[in-house]
Amino acid sequence: MKALETSGGLAYWQADPKVVDFYREGYELAHAEGDTADRARAAYNYAFTFSIPGIRIVPDREAARRLLEESLVGYRTIEDRAAIGRAAWALAVTYANGAHPPEELLRGREYGLEALREHRGLATRNLFDEGWDLHTLGLLALKLGELDEAADRFREALELFVTAADTSGIVLQLTNIAEVVLRRGDTERHDVLVGAWSALAQRTGVGVADSFATTEGRATAADIPAARRTALERGLTMTTDDAVAYGLESATAKTA
């Protein structure tokens, strides 16, 4: 099982279609010979093969959810708080990414809150896990129209990612806060933040921001019209520290 998990992990990060075979075999073997922890881990791994870009032309969220729910039940049984948090977070993500009706967003929030609760209850904090829990809870709040809740989640996530020196997390929170201020009607602040996250992503090689913006239907630097370029250029010239400070400030700016 360990060899299949290792091979699957390598294939996952390389977006190699063989990841499906490795994780499916690992899942089947865990059910045949493994204990509760083995089965929970194998179900968690296999779930991700139903949503990998380039592997599944159309993501199968329901299949992923069934496997993640199986994993979550197993981890609850053995009371592995860190793993409970990861499985609950992964379930929350299946409801946070893309478009969903309010009842599904609320279901995702339940999982997101469980993830954050479990991660915060650990003896040793993992800022990375907590940050992504907050990111996901913020997305769910944003899609529920709860802008203040979303802003608070994104602000706290940004602070954690800064402490953890996680550049990808920092960039994504700047995109999130940009979306919040846009919905509050502050176009200028939005455009500055688009410039800020675009420049930071380019400097650090973080490519996930553009794909995330596309998936979530958000503006990138190329989408800002000429009449609003002054604000965009201001963001493009910001240092990382300036961009973070502006993002934190923007998260609490309630009006234009």
> Is the pLDDT confidence value at 133 over 80?
yes
pTM of the complete model: 0.91
Confidence of residue 9 (pLDDT cuts 50, 70, 90): low
Mean pLDDT value of segment 227-241: 97
Residue 84 is predicted with a pLDDT of: 98
Contact 202, 172 (CB under 8 A): no
> Is the pLDDT confidence value at 53 over 70?
no
The DSSP string of the chain is -HHHHHHHHHHHHTT-THHHHHHHHHHHHHHHH--HHHHHHHHHHHHGGGS-TTT-SS--HHHHHHHHHHHHHHHHHHT-HHHHHHHHHHHHHHHHSS---HHHHHHHHHHHHHHHHHHHTSSS--HHHHHHHHHHHHHHHHHTT-HHHHHHHHHHHHHHHHHHT-HHHHHHHHHHHHHHHHHTT-HHHHHHHHHHHHHHHHHHT--HHHHHHHHHT---GGGS-GGGHHHHHHHHT--HHHHHHHHHHHHT----
- 55-75 pLDDT, tens digit per residue, is 665 678 999 999 999 999 999
Contact 193, 177 (CB under 8 A): yes
Distance CA 232, CA 246 (A): 13
Contact 228, 189 (CB under 8 A): no
